[in-house]
Amino acid sequence: MKIIKDPVHGYVEADELALRLLDSGEVQRLRHITQLGFANLVYPGANHTRFEHSLGTMHLAGIMCSKLGLDAGETRVVTTAALLHDIGHGPFSHVTEPVMKEFAGRSHHQIEGIVGEGAIAGILEDEGLDPAEVSAIVSGDHRLASIIHGSLDVDRMDYLMRDAHYTGVPYGTVDAHRLIRCSVLAGSGIALHEGGINAAESLLIARTLMRPAVYFHHVSRIATSMFVHALREEVLNVPGADAQELVRMDDAACMERLKHSAHPITRDLACRVYTRDLYKRALYVGGDRVNAAALQQDLGPARERDLAIAIAETAGIPEEEVLVDIPPLPTDLSMEVQVRNSHTMVDIEEVSPLINTLNDTRRQQWRLGVYTTRGNRQAVEQAANEVLRVKRATKQDKLVVT
Amino acid sequence: MKIIKDPVHGYVEADELALRLLDSGEVQRLRHITQLGFANLVYPGANHTRFEHSLGTMHLAGIMCSKLGLDAGETRVVTTAALLHDIGHGPFSHVTEPVMKEFAGRSHHQIEGIVGEGAIAGILEDEGLDPAEVSAIVSGDHRLASIIHGSLDVDRMDYLMRDAHYTGVPYGTVDAHRLIRCSVLAGSGIALHEGGINAAESLLIARTLMRPAVYFHHVSRIATSMFVHALREEVLNVPGADAQELVRMDDAACMERLKHSAHPITRDLACRVYTRDLYKRALYVGGDRVNAAALQQDLGPARERDLAIAIAETAGIPEEEVLVDIPPLPTDLSMEVQVRNSHTMVDIEEVSPLINTLNDTRRQQWRLGVYTTRGNRQAVEQAANEVLRVKRATKQDKLVVT
Amino acid sequence: MKIIKDPVHGYVEADELALRLLDSGEVQRLRHITQLGFANLVYPGANHTRFEHSLGTMHLAGIMCSKLGLDAGETRVVTTAALLHDIGHGPFSHVTEPVMKEFAGRSHHQIEGIVGEGAIAGILEDEGLDPAEVSAIVSGDHRLASIIHGSLDVDRMDYLMRDAHYTGVPYGTVDAHRLIRCSVLAGSGIALHEGGINAAESLLIARTLMRPAVYFHHVSRIATSMFVHALREEVLNVPGADAQELVRMDDAACMERLKHSAHPITRDLACRVYTRDLYKRALYVGGDRVNAAALQQDLGPARERDLAIAIAETAGIPEEEVLVDIPPLPTDLSMEVQVRNSHTMVDIEEVSPLINTLNDTRRQQWRLGVYTTRGNRQAVEQAANEVLRVKRATKQDKLVVT
Amino acid sequence: MKIIKDPVHGYVEADELALRLLDSGEVQRLRHITQLGFANLVYPGANHTRFEHSLGTMHLAGIMCSKLGLDAGETRVVTTAALLHDIGHGPFSHVTEPVMKEFAGRSHHQIEGIVGEGAIAGILEDEGLDPAEVSAIVSGDHRLASIIHGSLDVDRMDYLMRDAHYTGVPYGTVDAHRLIRCSVLAGSGIALHEGGINAAESLLIARTLMRPAVYFHHVSRIATSMFVHALREEVLNVPGADAQELVRMDDAACMERLKHSAHPITRDLACRVYTRDLYKRALYVGGDRVNAAALQQDLGPARERDLAIAIAETAGIPEEEVLVDIPPLPTDLSMEVQVRNSHTMVDIEEVSPLINTLNDTRRQQWRLGVYTTRGNRQAVEQAANEVLRVKRATKQDKLVVT
């Protein structure tokens, strides 16, 4: 049993199995993948990595298993899944997810290919664990998956606390121990004992407040859009560029590669992100001014690119100088959280009126962005208004929460 | 300039004027008045006092004045009001407020009588400050009152942070410095710059979450009801007991007095609170099961007592063994907060959908309680249901959030 | 199993036995005994009580027992002793200790009389625990006593962390979990695995730094001296005053009693402490200027009084206006801590050169104080120099660290 | 004025000048230089960068200037120096310092070359600041240099607090605000008012405890030794490798370059560091077993290499499999801190006996390490004992504090 110091949880204990997995190249790689991508351009402290988050998630998963009364075998498979749940991430975590989906055909939750072969498969086999079961937990397809992958899961508890610690944003306070204490195993996953409702509301509020302040801060979105475009241009234009290979890199290797690309657009955009010489917002509007739902159809980098090209043409500027950023609509919180007491079990929305509003708030936080160079802002704003059929702003629309 | 260590703000600076006021008996008394009354029966760490809260409020008021660009004279009067804003509190702070209103005819905000005479009046006069202006700020009747006494005031910022620090409840995180930075002076008081909306939401959420978890925790409500009844019995039955005098005592003197009262009911109830041998909930219902609005009419200890006596008679038990607790309905958050950017100014509800729901949530948190001894619970529950015409519980009503 | 929120440890779990003990009057009384006596006159946040410290000590004791591999029976007796270890304290904790020793003939560690009779004895018997064994652990006379009562015990870990939390002084950081992890059972008590040396040094440093900053801050010493004198005068002069009874009171009752004493000196001193209208230092010197060792002989309130009277006579002022404060010399840190690795076991001083210096530092922090009213300072300083044969100050003596 | 969120200080304010400097490539590069090199191999959270440390240092410098009463011009030059004080660092900060000194002939304090040309020189000139004055403060050659570069400087305050925050090691607690408050300008630099002695001791203790726990942790030393050897081999063996260029890279570029070096030893060592497949300690001894003072002569990578080669030859293994690590002896703490009160000024050692012991402790913490692959440990231990004439261990020597 080894002890690893962690600023969020104090100490994390790693047993022999965990130590063997930690030594694998796949897990060591997570040391070099930042948790929050380009959020460190806004919050200089946000340099924490998927490695420590994975340790923290394993730690909370172990406590959760113990509170739920799982046996040693179940606990091993759940904590292993917790440790490995993020090994599928590409460089800069969520930044490269759209490119991974588009060109490599998988999301970061799909880790069968990684745990099923190579060093990790060998370790799991040695220790009597089934790689398929581990990846089923990570992809959500397992009776115990909601420990790691639900509305009140330990993955979220860890990242909210951790992101608050490193950004300094004071909204991530989560009473993880109370939440874990109040979790119970129900037929369909983890349910919540009524004593944990306040703590659950607090977690859902933290998610809601962290969203505009950190996860969808416009500076981070602009850098992400620039980097995604750089990466796609590399894949599409540079002979021998292999998307599969690119998304298996770490942050540094991927950035170095793009900064020195043979393709000038890729090179320029990567260098700009690296030196924080970013595009600006030409348009930044919510669902009250564009049809957010309609824009979700066929959503993806290719669709965004088509719109960007149309805007660039309308504005009469080079197409690489326009980026369109259409985030997915937020999923509803807590669809599946059930609350129980000695009498009955109900959906959390029935006892917590906050939940529905938080969903409203999250939808209201959604923003479509069109980014360009400082000099092109006015021309692009006008063109984007036209191409995207943006409604005119009303009085309070002018209050953009940023 | 003297420096006073404070675990919440690090250091608080006190100038000559503040030091003189701190030395007065009226302010020293606040050392002996706990901030949260009987919340320490639930949260053993909650022993902080109105004294340190007053220092913290003065500290934040000073920062706020400086950010608003007030001149030295205005700053002096505001920080003095901040330091003195709680000297009107009775023993155990809000616990004795209803008795103070009923028998002494004032609320803790009315401090003219205290600052207008004696040591404090002398100090203020010496220093060229007008006691009437200071008490006008505290009672809310002054152009600058909303710094201390508004929806986003420094009093609230301090107590939310402080209560979180001492209870250990992690819901009180308030980004006070961001809120202060985003405050602007508008015609009607303090308005908020749009950059502070997240921080403001966070404060309003903290208020909402702290309410059931701390401020209205049932254990604390029961102890409060018991103590209020003990105190009223003293006033009503003990020759020479003077309500004016009782509410000017500190916690210890008041408790000692009641524990050794000549009146047996007073004595018994005070001793039970002291040793945490508390009544239990016979009934504890929300606004969906009783007519909360109707119950607010003529609300006060006398009304609660009438209902308790009716219940006790119905149940056939001594009347002092039944206590009825009807809290006021929560006031709406942020009625008056206005948000402004370079273009316009709007009410915060227009840009933050959370606010209205938080108001719903607060109303939903409201509980009427009927408390009695352990043995009488069933009899009292039945009688209370009858007397108060309580509706039958539906499925989710059984989920009491406690 | 009940969960109690604690701002220092997050949560403390209390089992059935602990809950029964918590409900006893003897333990509930600790809610009304401040941990640090009059330190709140310097640090306004220092209002925490022996009650929460007892909970925290029980919590750490439980973790320690589990790490040491004690069985359930041993664990029960140790955690019970931890919960009860401070029930022997008089009002204001260490403030009244000298009076308790002088007139009641016991120190706060001697709790046989309290656990051996009344409610607690009954509970212990019910639960199959031997009161004698519990009090043996508290008084240090048991194989497992050093868990609670040694150089690196859980009592110290808890109070250093807790005192730092409530005072805001940043010197109390103790890596309790690392210390506990590195504790091993050796023949003579708890020894330390070599991996914990840094953490142990850190704890000893915390003790050393907290001493002048908090535990022996002169303001707190002056208030203590005044209160002790008030209490002794009560015992010695007021017919019917019973020292045994006085030291079983809580803070409030004792203060109320003295503030309303029939004896004018008692009354005056108690009121002055209550309103923080304190005596001042007329003399405040270290061991380089008085013979600290010689002063330790027959040390106690009676001896201090004799010296005070002599000084008052020399100065020609009433004797109650002079107080002499001769603290005991600090005990050496870590006399008994042994450090072990796979090869050997040695005394901690052999591997940690810091320890000896910390002992030097602690001796150097020692101060003799003579206190009087503001107006008498000069006269008393002169008289005290004469009576106590104080050496003249050298250059650096004038640098009094306060 | 822009506000940047910082988890250590809350907020850092950046004015127009600071913002211009922050936008320069030289300062942006610090985003990509980790503060603690390879300490993240021990403390997974230690991924913070020189960028945020530079912001924090500027922040504290501003507060210090204000407390010292410096005028606006002096304040500008000091805070600018604080912001720029680390732009001279090579990749992985102190890791590459020996190579920078050996081949590029400068230490990271020498920044004239960087501030005197290019973007930064232009900005400083525009803003009326003299680059020579700024670099004089950083190199220690200026009346106000000790604000940034002394025994109690703001650089140290920031890094101790910051390193504690990110590693989770609880020894870095520094009462920065008290220290700053107690700083006074004296002829020779910053002196300390006597009220700050405790806080100063606390800082010096933090430095002492952080040294073995973080700054000189053996795992970090091993990785550093491996990386330094990889880098030197690159410089010495790869045609076109330019030390000047290498030490101007950021962490990622330097690591990528070495991982893909044409030289197999460089490549292998860099890849091992990257995947945490580290050499082990064959020898790890303090100054009681080797002549630490004698080893300091001509100290540097070249000398270490000679010894490593001799050991490898004696052991009969390839020379790249042996690394010798001889850290410099610690400099004495606080040589120049003077303490003053109203009467006099003395050296801090005269009033604080802790200081001398901390110096002893620091010397005792010094370790010479010889590192090799797991399989070679025994052979290398024997050879190293012989080559370095290591004394036999006594009983307590076997207690290695790690």
pLDDT in the model for residue B335: 56
A133 pLDDT above the threshold of 90: yes
Domains and CATH numbers, chain D: 2-168 (1.10.3210.10)
- The predicted-structure confidence for A236-262, as pLDDT tens digits, reads as follows 999 999 999 999 999 999 999 999 999
**Which residues of D touch chain B, with CB atoms under 8 Å apart?**
3, 10-11, 177-178, 181
pLDDT in the model for residue C349: 76
pLDDT in the model for residue C342: 65
**Mean per-residue pLDDT for A258-270?**
97
Which chain C residues are closer than 8 Å to D198 by Cβ? 171, 209, 212-213, 401
**Mean per-residue pLDDT for D88-108?**
93
Q: Which of D165, D207, D214 lies closest to D38, judged by CA? A: D214
Q: What tokens were used for D199?
A: 């806080």
Kindly report the three-state secondary structure assignment for every residue of chain B. Answer: CEEEEECCCEEEEECHHHHHHHCCHHHHHHHHCECCHHHHHCCCCCCCEHHHHHHHHHHHHHHHHHHHCCCHHHHHHHHHHHHHCCCCCCCCHHHHHHHHHHHHCCCCCCCHHHHCCHHHHHHHHHCCCCHHHHHHHHHCCCCCHHHCCCCCCHHHHHHHHHHHHHHCCCCCCCCHHHHHHCEEEECCEEEEEHHHHHHHHHHHHHHHHHHHHHHCCHHHHHHHHHHHHHHHHHHHHCCCCCHHHHCCCCHHHHHHHHHCCCCHHHHHHHHHHHCCCCCEEEEEECCCCCCHHHHCCCCCHHHHHHHHHHHHHHHCCCHHHCEEECCCCCCCCCCCCEEECCCCEEEHHHHCCHHHHHHHHHHHHCCEEEEECHHHHHHHHHHHHHHCCCCCCCCHHHCCCC
**Which residues of B touch chain A, with CB atoms under 8 Å apart?**
169-171, 173-175, 194-195, 197-198, 201-202, 205, 209, 212-213, 339, 341, 343-344, 346, 350-354, 356-358, 360-361, 364, 395-396, 398-402
- The predicted-structure confidence for D136-176, as pLDDT tens digits, reads as follows 999 999 999 999 988 889 999 999 999 999 999 877 778 88
- The predicted-structure confidence for C51-66, as pLDDT tens digits, reads as follows 999 999 999 999 999 9
- The predicted-structure confidence for D265-289, as pLDDT tens digits, reads as follows 999 999 999 999 999 999 999 998 9
Selected residue with higher pLDDT from A393 and B196: B196
Subunits next to D (3 or more Cβ pairs <8 Å) are A, B, C
Least confident piece of the model among B122-131, B245-254, C359-368: C359-368
Share of residues in chain D with pLDDT > 70 (%): 96
**Mean per-residue pLDDT for C271-293?**
94
pLDDT in the model for residue A257: 95
- The predicted-structure confidence for B50-103, as pLDDT tens digits, reads as follows 999 999 999 999 999 999 999 999 999 999 999 999 999 999 999 999 999 999
Least confident piece of the model among C291-300, C337-346, D324-333: C337-346
Are residues D170 and C344, on separate chains, in Cβ contact within 8 Å? Answer: no
Selected residue with higher pLDDT from D86 and C393: D86
Nearest chain B alpha carbon to A347: B396
- The predicted-structure confidence for A179-200, as pLDDT tens digits, reads as follows 998 898 887 778 888 888 888 8
pLDDT in the model for residue B185: 85
B402 burial type by CB count under 10 A (0-12 exposed, 13-18 middle, 19+ buried): middle
The partner residue sitting opposite C28, judged by closest CB among B45, B51, B275, is B275
Q: What tokens were used for D213?
A: 């726990």
How far apart are the CA of D263 and the nearest CA of chain B, in angstroms?
Answer: 53
Subunits next to B (3 or more Cβ pairs <8 Å) are A, C, D
Nearest chain B alpha carbon to D13: B181
pLDDT in the model for residue C336: 67
Which chain D residues are closer than 8 Å to A168 by Cβ? 5-8, 10
Nearest chain B alpha carbon to D178: B11
- The predicted-structure confidence for C73-107, as pLDDT tens digits, reads as follows 999 999 999 999 999 999 999 999 999 999 988 88
DSSP string covering D116-153: TSHHHHHHHHHTT--HHHHHHHHHT-STTGGGTSSTT-
pLDDT-derived band of residue A398, with 50, 70 and 90 as boundaries? very low
How far apart are the CA of B368 and the nearest CA of chain D, in angstroms?
Answer: 41
Q: What tokens were used for D48?
A: 């913070």
A349 pLDDT above the threshold of 90: no
- The predicted-structure confidence for C224-251, as pLDDT tens digits, reads as follows 999 999 999 999 999 999 999 999 999 9
A294 pLDDT above the threshold of 60: yes
pLDDT in the model for residue B401: 36
A74 pLDDT above the threshold of 80: yes
pLDDT in the model for residue D402: 33
Nearest chain A alpha carbon to C175: A10
Q: What tokens were used for B83?
A: 């330091």
Share of residues in chain D with pLDDT > 90 (%): 68
pLDDT in the model for residue D400: 39
Please measure the distance between the N-terminal and C-terminal CA atoms of chain B and give it in whole angstroms.
46
pLDDT in the model for residue A88: 95
- The predicted-structure confidence for C168-180, as pLDDT tens digits, reads as follows 987 777 888 889 9
Are residues C45 and B7, on separate chains, in Cβ contact within 8 Å? Answer: yes
The partner residue sitting opposite D181, judged by closest CB among B3, B178, B181, is B3
Which chain B residues are closer than 8 Å to D63 by Cβ? none
pLDDT-derived band of residue A149, with 50, 70 and 90 as boundaries? confident
**Which residues of A touch chain B, with CB atoms under 8 Å apart?**
169-171, 173-175, 194-195, 197-198, 201-202, 205, 209, 212-213, 339, 341, 343-344, 346, 350-354, 356-358, 360-361, 364, 395-396, 398-402
Cβ-Cβ pairs closer than 8 A, A with D, add up to 92
Nearest chain D alpha carbon to B182: D3
Considering B206-220, C307-321, C336-350, the range whose residues carry the highest mean pLDDT is C307-321
Least confident piece of the model among A88-97, C157-166, C171-180, D217-226: C171-180
A402 pLDDT above the threshold of 60: no
Which residues, in sequence order, are bridge partners of residue D11?
D5
Nearest chain A alpha carbon to B175: A170
**Average pLDDT of the residues of chain D:** 91
The partner residue sitting opposite D44, judged by closest CB among A6, A166, A252, is A6
pLDDT in the model for residue D105: 87
Which chain B residues are closer than 8 Å to D11 by Cβ? 177-178
pLDDT-derived band of residue B310, with 50, 70 and 90 as boundaries? very high
**Mean per-residue pLDDT for D236-249?**
92
Instruction: Please enumerate in sequence order all residues whose Cβ is within 8 A of that of C97, keeping only pairs 6 or more positions apart, or say none.
Output: C89, C90, C107, C108
The partner residue sitting opposite B256, judged by closest CB among C6, C34, C256, is C256
Nearest chain A alpha carbon to C13: A181
A335 pLDDT above the threshold of 60: no
**Average pLDDT of the residues of chain A:** 91
Count CA within 13 A, CB hemisphere, residue B76: 13
Nearest chain A alpha carbon to C182: A3
**Which residues of A touch chain D, with CB atoms under 8 Å apart?**
4-8, 10, 23, 25, 28, 31-32, 34, 40, 42-45, 47-49, 51-52, 55, 165-169, 251-253, 255-256, 274-277
**Mean per-residue pLDDT for D369-385?**
97
Q: How far apart are CA B392 and CA D200, in angstroms?
A: 66
Of how many residues is chain A composed?
402
Judge contact between D51 and D27, C-beta under 8 A.
yes
Selected residue with higher pLDDT from A172 and C213: C213
Which chain D residues are closer than 8 Å to A8 by Cβ? 45, 168
D398 pLDDT above the threshold of 60: no
pLDDT in the model for residue C343: 67
B387 pLDDT above the threshold of 70: yes
Subunits next to A (3 or more Cβ pairs <8 Å) are B, C, D
- Angle, CA of B42, B45 and B48, to the nearest 5°: 110
Nearest chain B alpha carbon to C26: B275
**Which residues of C touch chain B, with CB atoms under 8 Å apart?**
4-8, 10, 23, 25, 28, 31-32, 34, 40, 42-45, 47-49, 51-52, 55, 165-169, 251-253, 255-256, 274-277
Selected residue with higher pLDDT from B198 and B292: B292
Which chain A residues are closer than 8 Å to D55 by Cβ? 44
C398 pLDDT above the threshold of 50: no
Q: What tokens were used for D280?
A: 């082990």
Are residues D251 and A253, on separate chains, in Cβ contact within 8 Å? Answer: no
D396 pLDDT above the threshold of 60: no
Which chain C residues are closer than 8 Å to A178 by Cβ? 11
B359 pLDDT above the threshold of 60: yes
How many Cβ atoms are within 10 Å of D226's Cβ, its own excluded?
Answer: 23
Nearest chain B alpha carbon to C43: B5
Three-class SS of residue A372? Answer: strand
Q: What's phi and psi for C326, nearest 5 deg?
A: -115, 95
Are residues C10 and A181, on separate chains, in Cβ contact within 8 Å? Answer: no
**Mean per-residue pLDDT for C352-369?**
84
How far apart are the CA of D178 and the nearest CA of chain B, in angstroms?
Answer: 9
